[in-house]
Amino acid sequence: ATDPGPVGPTSDRTELTNDTQDQVSKILVNGEALELSELSQSMEGGTYVYTIDLAADDFIQVFTEDGFNRIELQNSTTFKVGIGSPGYQIEEAGDPLPFMDFGVTITDTDGDVAHGSISLSSQPAPDLVGTAAGEALVGGDTANAITGGGGADLLTGNAGADRFVYLDVSDTGTGVARDVITDFEVGIDRIDLSAIDADAGTLGDDAFTFVPGPGPVAPYSLSWYQSAGATIVQGDVDGDGSADFEIELTGAIPLQATDFIL
């Protein structure tokens, strides 16, 4: 189809010719879809021509099968924000679409304007790394390595064999300051504590001793217990027999040593 031009005010008329450049999937005028059967048609030089009569200030949008007509953002609570019909965009057939940059302009009620950009990637991010603050990190449909960093983080691996990585005792606290892993799967996901020294009072990097079965924390060990429908992992690094860090797993989960990288 011959491109009638970008979205914007138009007048007079525009013509679409049915050639082999792009296949039109939808035409909107002022937000309403047009049916080709309702348009006037003529033959010019062996080519069908469809004519659209437009009034002043009409808006026309043309979408092809390789274009985009909706952007949808979704967070971990399933709350969705949809941006419908952003405009006319053509991508060459077969071109990869792993990453797209969009300019963003925000205008407030008194006319102040702020400019920025947003980047969207259609490729899954295998590794997620948080900051020193508490945040929610959500993995994709493949195996992810998720490092929450400091703060009380809410971590979700989603599908795939995910690895929840802790680099320091300060990456998760105790009580309300501990991280929460929402969808840990025994035998599939793993908690990686290999970077943490189980005995902070000695030289070298000591591995935790895993205590099988639920029970209290022991010096330089890793244990777990269940409370209020959750499983709490707890570790001691200073030998006093009290938890120096905790990780909460949603659900009653019978953990084994193989669920950890120590």
Q: How far apart are CA 91 and CA 65, in angstroms?
A: 9
Write out the DSSP string of 25-60.
Answer: EEEEETTEEPPGGGSEEEEETTEEEEEEE--TTEEE
Q: How far apart are CA 239 and CA 41, in angstroms?
A: 85
Query: Are the C-beta atoms of 109 and 98 separated by less than 8 Å?
Result: no
Task: State what percent of residues in the chain have pLDDT above 70.
Answer: 56
Question: Which amino acid is present at 84?
Answer: G
- pLDDT at position 102 is 58
Query: Are the C-beta atoms of 235 and 208 separated by less than 8 Å?
Result: yes
- pLDDT at position 127 is 83
Q: Which domains does the chain have, with CATH numbers?
A: 1-106 (no CATH), 127-261 (2.150.10.10)
Residue ranges of the chain whose pLDDT lies below 50: 1-20, 68-69, 76, 80, 82, 84-97
Nearest to 147 by CA among 168, 118, 161, 120: 168
User: Residue 12 half-sphere exposure, CB side, CA atoms within 13 Å?
Assistant: 3
**What tens digit of pLDDT does each residue of 99-123 get?**
555 566 666 556 666 666 555 555 5
- pLDDT at position 94 is 46
Strands in 24-29's sheet, in edge-to-edge order, are 9-10, 58-64, 24-29, 32-33
**What tens digit of pLDDT does each residue of 203-220 get?**
888 999 999 888 888 999
